[in-house]
Amino acid sequence: MRFALIASVLLLSTLIVLMLIATGIIRLVRTHSEIRSLANRAQLRQLFVKFVSEDLDPSELRQLKTSRSTELGELSEAMLSKVKGSAKDILVSFLESRGTVEQAIRRTTRSGYLGRCRAATFLGHVGSPQARKPLEAMLRDRKRDVRITAARSLGQLGDAKSVPSLLSGLDNRRRSLPFSTVLVALMRIGSSAQDLVGDGLQAAGERQREVAAEFLGLMGAIKFTATLSELLANDPSLDVRIRCARALGRIGSPSAIASLTRCIESDNPVGLRTVSCGALAAIGGREVAMLICKLIGEDDYQISLAAAKAVSQMGPVGIECLDQIASSGSPGAPYAKEVLARAAARMVGKARNPSES
Amino acid sequence: MIQATFMSTLSEIFTGLNWIGLGYFLALNSIYLILITVAAINLGDYFRRKPFSGFQDALKSPVTLPVSVLIPAHNEETGIVESARAVLSLDYPQLELVIVDDGSTDLTFERLRDAFDLVEIPMLVPELVPTIGHIDSVHIAKGLDDVTVIRKQSIGQKTDALNAAINIAKYPLLCIVDADAVLDEDALIKVTMPFVDDPQRVVATGGAIRPSNGCAAYRGRITEVGMPNNWLARMQVVEYLRAFLLGRTGWSKLGALLIISGAFGVFRKDVIIDIGGYNQGSIGEDADLVARLHKYMRKNKTPYRIVFVSEPVCWTEVPESVAVLRRQRRRWSRGLLETLWSNPTLLMNPRYGTLGLLAVPYFLLFEVLGPIVELTGFVTLIVALIFHFVNFYFAGLFFTVAIFYGILLSILSIFIEEVSYHRYDKWRFLFQTIISALVENFGYRQMHAYWRLEGVIQALRRSDRSWGSMPRKGFIPSETT
C-alpha cells in the first residue's frame, strides 16, 4: 500500500511538472510564432498590395521562391473574402493559374470533413461557375457543417440554378439544411432567384413553402401576391400561413387586404392574427386602421397589444384612431394609451436626435 | 485490556474513515478529469469548426430570433449604466433591454433615468408568469424603442424581479444577465448560435463566466483582460476556469447540463412561460429553472437540447473579501441543495438519461454532501494523528495524493485555457494563475468546504432568503478614456 501511495505521488508530481512545462512551451511557441508571423505578414502584405494593384512584374512573380509563392497563395485565399472588384479578379486569376480551384473541387469529395468545409468556403469566395455542381452535391453531405458551408457558398456564387437544390435541402429528413442558412443563401442570390423560389410555394415540403414565402416577402415580390394570399387562406401549416401573412405585409399590395382581413377574425390562431394585424398596418389606409382598431380591447392581451402597436405605425390616421380609443374609456383604452405614450417618447427622441431617425 | 481493544477498534475506524476520505477525493477528481477531458475534446472540435460556424451570417439574417435581455437590479448604482450600455452595443440584429429595479434604496433608477432620459408610460403588464411584488411604474427611453425600465416593490427575491421582466419582454428569446456583468461584443450572437443552428430542439444555452476583477473597461466593454490584484479573486479565476468553463462544457457534451449561470443564459420564452417562469422563493434559481426545463421537456417527450457554449464570455465581479465570498458560496450551496430537494424525481431516474444517472447523483454526492465528507476527512485525519491511529508518514502520503490530484486538474485546466482561448496573455498572469492553482489547496478549499456545509445547514433550516447582492468595486477605467 505504501508503495502504491508513493508511486501515486511520484506519478502525480511528474504529471504536474510535465503539464507546467507544456504550458510554458506552448506560451513560448505562441509568442514566438506571433512575432514571426507579424513580421512575415508585413513583408508579404507589401508584395500582396503590389500584386493586386498590378505593379508586380510577372517575371518578379516567377522569381519568387516556392515557399514565398505558397505563402502568397495562402494570403490570396485568405484575402478573397475581403477584396472586391478588379483586385478580386486578379486574385482569382492568380489562384486559377496555380490550379487552386481544381484542387478545391477535388477536395469536395475527400474524406476529412474540415477539408471539405474549407474547399466549399474557398469555392464560394472564388465564385467560379464550375463550382456549382460540386457544391450542390455537398448539400447532401453526411456532415451538417459541410452542408451548411456548401449552402452558404452557393449563395455567394449567386447562380439562380442552385435554388431547387437549396430548397430541397430543407426537407431532406436525414440530411437537412437549417432554415436561416437557406434563406440567407437565397437572399445573396437575389432577385434572379424569385421565379424559382416562387415555384417552392407549391412544394410538398412545409419548410420549402415557409422559406419561399419569407424570401418573396423580403424581396417585395409583388407578382406572387395572389399565390401567397391563396396559401394564407388554405395552407394546412400554420407556420406557412404566418410567414405568408408577414410576406404580404412586406409586399404591401392592397390586393392582399381581403385575405389578411379574414385572418384577423377571432376563429384564427393568435399567432396568425397578431402577424396579420401588423401586415395590414403595413399596407395602410383608413379603412384598414378602423378594422384593426376593433381588435384593441379584445380579451386576449396579445391581440389587443399587437393591434394597438400596428395602428400606431400607421401615421396620423392610426394616431387619430388611438386617440379616440384612449379617451373613450373602453377596454382598449389602456392599450391605446400605452402605444401613444411610446409613440410620443419615440417622437421626442427623434426630434432631439434627428440623425438617428 | 478493554482499553487496548477500544483503542484498536478506534484505530481501525479512523483508518477506515481516512481511506473513505481518500477514496472520495480520488473519485471526485477522477470525475473532474473525465469532464475536463470531454471538454478538451469538445473545445478542439469547436475550434476546428469555428471558421465555418457562420455567425456572421446569423448577424445579417432577417430570421435570426430577436432577444430580450433581462437585467434584474437591486442597489446596483455602481455599474448599472455601464452594463446597460454594454448590452445596447452588442453585435446582434435585434434586441431589447428590460431592466427591473427591484426596490433599490440607492440611486440605481436615478442613474438609469439620467443616462437614458427615461419617461414613464402607462402599461398593462400581463401575468404570463406569476409575480408578487407590485409594479410601481414602467419607463422607456426617449428615442430608444428598446429600453424599458420597470420599478417594482421588492419582496427580497431575484426570481420575482426576473418574472416581472419575463412578463414585459416582447421577443421570443430571453437572455438573463446580472446587473454587474459585462458581455463581450459578440457574446450574444455566439451564445444564440445553437438556436440558429437547431431551432427546433435548443431550449436554453449558457455562456462562460469569467471574473472581471483586474480587467479594464471602457463604455461597458472589456478593453484589457487582467488578473485581479487580490489573491482570493485570483484563486477564483482558476476555480471558474476549472469548474465553470471546463466542467460545464463537459456536462453539456454529455447532455447533462444542470446549471446555466444566472449571470448569463439564454432561454426560449415560450418554454419558460410554459413551466411558469422562475420558482418564487428559490435561492438557486438558475439551477432550479434548468432542472424544471429538463423535467418539462422529458415529460412532454419533446426532443430538446440545453447547451453550454464556452466561447462567449460574460465578465462578472467576484468577491474579494472572505465575508462576501462566504455569503456567496453559502447561497450557491443552499440553492443547489434546494433544487435537488425540490426535484427528487431527477435522481437516478433513467428517464432523464445522463442527467438523472450521472449529473444529479454527482451534484448530490460531491457538491452537496461533499463538504461533509471533506471536513470529516480533515478532522479524522487530525484526530488520528493526535492519537497516533495512523502514522505521520501514511497521513502525509494520503494528504499529498489528494492535494496533488487537485493541483493536476487545475494545471490541466490552465493548460487547456492556454491552448484554446488564451485570454490571460501576459506571462505575469500565467505565473499568477499557476501559483493560485497551487495555493488554493492550502486553506481556500477547506474554507470553501466549510462555507458549503454552512449552506447545507441553512437549507435544512430554511432561513434567510434575500437578494444575493454584493458590494461592487467597478472596473479599472481604460486608458482609452
Search chain A and give the residue with CA nearest B420.
A26
Distance CA(B118)–CA(B142), nearest Å, equals 6
**Which residues is A8 bridged to in the sheet?**
none
Query: Which of the two residues, A355 and B280, has the higher pLDDT score?
Result: B280
Distance CA(B133)–CA(B161), nearest Å, equals 8
Give one DSSP letter per residue of A88-105, joined into a string. HHHHHHHHHHTTHHHHHH
CB atoms within 10 A of CB A127: 15
Q: What is the pLDDT of residues A339-351, one digit of tens each?
A: 999 988 887 765 5
CA neighbor of B210 nearest in space, from B448, B423, B440:
B423
B435 neighbourhood in chain A, CB within 8 Å: none
- Give buried/exposed letters for A87-113 (b at 16+ CB in 10 A, else e): bbebbbebbeebebbeebbebbeeeeb
CB contact under 8 A, B54 and A181: yes
A9 neighbourhood in chain B, CB within 8 Å: 397, 400-401, 404
Helix (H) or strand (E) holding B424: none
Contact present, B21 and B380 (Cβ < 8 Å): yes
B434 neighbourhood in chain A, CB within 8 Å: 20, 23
The set of cell numbers assigned to B419 is: 491552448
Give one DSSP letter per residue of B51-89, joined into a string. GGS-HHHHHH-TTSPPEEEEEEESS-TTTHHHHHHHHHT
Q: Which among A19, A180, A353 is the nearest to B61, CB-wise?
A: A180
The set of cell numbers assigned to B54 is: 457562420
Distance CA(A220)–CA(A215), nearest Å, equals 9
Note the residue count of chain A: 357
Distance CA(B33)–CA(B225), nearest Å, equals 27
Search chain A and give the residue with CA nearest B26.
A8
Q: What angle do CA B316, B318, B322 make, to 5 degrees?
A: 170
Distance CA(A186)–CA(A151), nearest Å, equals 9
B139: helix, strand or coil? strand
Look up residue A23 and give its amino acid: T
Q: Decide if pLDDT at A218 tops 90.
A: yes
Q: What angle do CA B88, B417, B320 make, to 5 degrees?
A: 65
Phi, psi of A258 (to 5 degrees): -60, -50
The pLDDT of residue B247: 92
Q: Which of B22, B123, B423 to mutate to test the interface with A (most CBs of A within 10 A)?
A: B123
Helix (H) or strand (E) holding B342: helix B322-342
- Give buried/exposed letters for A206-224 (b at 16+ CB in 10 A, else e): ebbbbbbbbbbbbbebeeb
Contact present, A52 and B443 (Cβ < 8 Å): no
Q: What angle do CA B265, B271, B276 make, to 5 degrees?
A: 95
CB contact under 8 A, A179 and B199: yes
Q: What is the pLDDT of residues A142-182, one digit of tens each?
A: 998 999 999 999 999 999 999 999 999 998 878 889 899 99
Tell me the shortest Cα–Cα distance from A108 to chain B, in angstroms. 15
Bridge-based pairing of strands B95-102 and B202-211 is unpaired
| Torsional sign, CA B443, B449, B451, B457 | negative
**Which residues is B401 bridged to in the sheet?**
none
Tell me the shortest Cα–Cα distance from B463 to chain A, in angstroms. 38
Q: What is the pLDDT of residues A94-115, one digit of tens each?
A: 777 778 888 889 988 888 888 9
Average pLDDT over residues A18-25: 96
Of the CA atoms within 13 Å of residue B407, those in its CB half-sphere come to: 25
B182-183 β-sheet, strand order: B118-121, B135-141, B144-152, B95-102, B67-73, B173-177, B264-268, B202-211, B305-316, B182-183
What confidence category does residue A311 fall into, taking pLDDT thresholds of 50, 70 and 90?
very high
Q: Which among A19, A114, A337 is the nearest to B412, CB-wise?
A: A19
Three-class DSSP labels, B209-233: EEECCCCEEECCEEEECCCCCCHHH
Alpha helices in chain A, H assignment, sequence order: 2-52, 58-63, 66-79, 85-97, 100-107, 113-126, 132-138, 144-157, 163-170, 179-189, 194-199, 206-219, 225-234, 238-251, 257-263, 270-283, 286-293, 301-312, 316-328, 333-352
CB atoms within 10 A of CB B356: 19
| Torsional sign, CA B349, B353, B355, B360 | positive
Contact present, B286 and B259 (Cβ < 8 Å): yes
What confidence category does residue A70 fall into, taking pLDDT thresholds of 50, 70 and 90?
low
pLDDT tens, per residue, chain B with 481 residues: 677 888 788 888 877 887 888 888 889 999 999 999 999 999 999 998 888 888 888 888 888 999 999 999 999 998 899 889 889 999 999 999 999 999 999 999 999 999 999 999 999 899 999 999 999 999 999 888 799 999 999 998 899 999 999 999 999 999 999 998 889 999 999 999 999 888 889 999 999 999 999 999 887 788 899 999 999 999 999 999 998 889 999 999 999 999 999 899 999 999 999 999 999 878 889 999 999 999 999 999 999 999 999 998 999 999 999 999 999 999 999 999 999 999 999 999 998 989 999 999 999 999 888 888 888 888 888 888 888 877 778 778 888 888 999 999 999 999 999 999 999 999 999 999 999 999 999 889 989 999 999 999 988 887 666 655 566 666 666 654 3
Distance CA(B408)–CA(B36), nearest Å, equals 11
The set of cell numbers assigned to B142 is: 426617449
Search chain B and give the residue with CA nearest A347.
B143
B48: helix, strand or coil? helix
CB contact under 8 A, B198 and A19: no
Helix (H) or strand (E) holding B293: helix B285-299
Contact present, A201 and A227 (Cβ < 8 Å): yes
CB contact under 8 A, A337 and B398: no
The set of cell numbers assigned to B459 is: 437549507
Q: Which of A23, A82, A242, A357 to mutate to test the interface with B (most CBs of B within 10 A)?
A: A23
Distance CA(B214)–CA(B225), nearest Å, equals 7
The pLDDT of residue A353: 56
Average pLDDT over chain A reads 88
Note the residue count of chain B: 481
Q: Which of A8, A189, A243, A327 to mutate to test the interface with B (most CBs of B within 10 A)?
A: A8
Distance CA(B174)–CA(B271), nearest Å, equals 11
CB contact under 8 A, A345 and B430: no
CB contact under 8 A, B57 and A349: no
Look-up of cell digits 503539464: A19
**Which residues is B70 bridged to in the sheet?**
B98, B176
Helix-, strand-, coil-residue percentages of chain B, each rounded to 5: 55, 15, 30
Q: Decide if pLDDT at A202 tops 60.
A: yes
CB contact under 8 A, B404 and A187: no
CB contact under 8 A, A345 and B415: no
Cβ-count burial of A7 within 10 angstroms (0-12 exposed, 13-18 middle, 19+ buried)?
exposed
Distance CA(A27)–CA(B418), nearest Å, equals 7
CA neighbor of B435 nearest in space, from A31, A28, A25, A23:
A23
CA neighbor of B162 nearest in space, from B191, B123, B133:
B133
Search chain B and give the residue with CA nearest A243.
B63
Distance CA(B74)–CA(B363), nearest Å, equals 30
Tell me the shortest Cα–Cα distance from B58 to chain A, in angstroms. 8
User: Any residues with CB less than 8 A from the CB of B184 and at least 6 apart, and which?
Assistant: B222, B312, B313, B314, B315
**Which residues is B216 bridged to in the sheet?**
B224, B476
Distance CA(B318)–CA(B228), nearest Å, equals 10
B408 neighbourhood in chain A, CB within 8 Å: 12, 15-16, 19
A24 neighbourhood in chain B, CB within 8 Å: 430
A22 neighbourhood in chain B, CB within 8 Å: 415
Contact present, A308 and B170 (Cβ < 8 Å): no
Search chain B and give the residue with CA nearest A304.
B124
Query: What 8-state DSSP symbol labels residue A106?
Result: H
Search chain A and give the residue with CA nearest B128.
A301
